[in-house]
Amino acid sequence: MFATIQRLIDRETKLAIPAANLTPRANLYNLGLTSFDAIRLLVAVERAFNIEFQREMLNRESAASIETIAKAVQAMRQTPAVETRKAA
């Protein structure tokens, strides 16, 4: 999972350091991650892992590090899908 997240960081952001050189807890915002980059990154993570983040998970903290992104993905994988269709 970490390798996929690192690849997405390199592809979707403009950090000065390659993601492979980052520790899992390195703060991506301190390394130059912008709000726009964070949105692009989280959308790419959703696509790569075939998940959809809950609204409350779409925040600065979720994209702060490789570790927090991985934890968010794991949380979404453990969350049962919610039926959104209304009963007829």
The pLDDT tens digits of the residues spanning 42-73 come to 999 999 999 999 999 999 999 999 999 999 99
Q: What angle do CA 21, 24, 27 make, to 5 degrees?
A: 85
Tokens of 30: 């301190």
- Residue in the structure block whose two tokens are 């000065």: 16
Q: Are 58 and 43 in contact (CB under 8 A)?
A: no
In terms of Cβ atoms closer than 10 Å to its own Cβ (0-12, 13-18, 19+), residue 83 is exposed
Q: Looking at the domain 2-78, which fold is it?
A: 1.10.1200
Q: What DSSP character marks residue 88?
A: -
Question: What pLDDT is recorded for position 79?
Answer: 80
pTM reported for the whole predicted model: 0.87
Residue 42 · residue 63 · CB < 8 Å: yes
pLDDT at 32 over 70: yes
What does the radius of gyration of the chain's CA atoms come to, in whole angstroms? Answer: 14
